[in-house]
Homo-oligomer: A and B are copies of this chain.
Amino acid sequence: MPEATGGTSSSERVADILLLFSDGPRTIGVTRAARELGLSKAVVHRILQSLTGRGLVAYDAASREYGLGPAAASLGSRALRDSDLRAVALPHLVDLRDRLHETATVSAKVPGGRLFLDQVVGAHEITMSVEVGRRLPLHAGAVGKCILAFSTPDEIDLALSRDLRAVTQATVVDPDRLRAELARIRADGHAASVGEREAGAASVAAPVLGRADVAVGAVSVCGPRFRLTDERIAAVVPDVVAAATLVTDALAGRATPGGPRRPAGPDSATGRSPLDRDGQSLTF
Contact = CB atoms under 8 A, between A and B. Distances in A.
A60 to B, nearest CB: 6
A75 B7 contact: no
A53 interface: yes
B50 A11 contact: yes
Q: Interface size class for chain A? A: 35 or more
Interface of A: 4-12, 14-16, 18-19, 21-22, 26, 45-47, 49-56, 58-62, 67-83, 108-111, 115, 117, 132-135, 211, 253, 274, 277, 280-284
Contacts of A117: 70, 73
Contacts of A45: 6
20 contacts: A7-B47, A7-B50, A9-B50, A10-B10, A11-B14, A11-B50, A12-B50, A15-B53, A15-B71, A18-B75, A19-B54, A19-B71, A19-B75, A69-B79, A69-B110, A70-B79, A71-B135, A73-B83, A77-B80, A80-B133
A18 B56 contact: yes
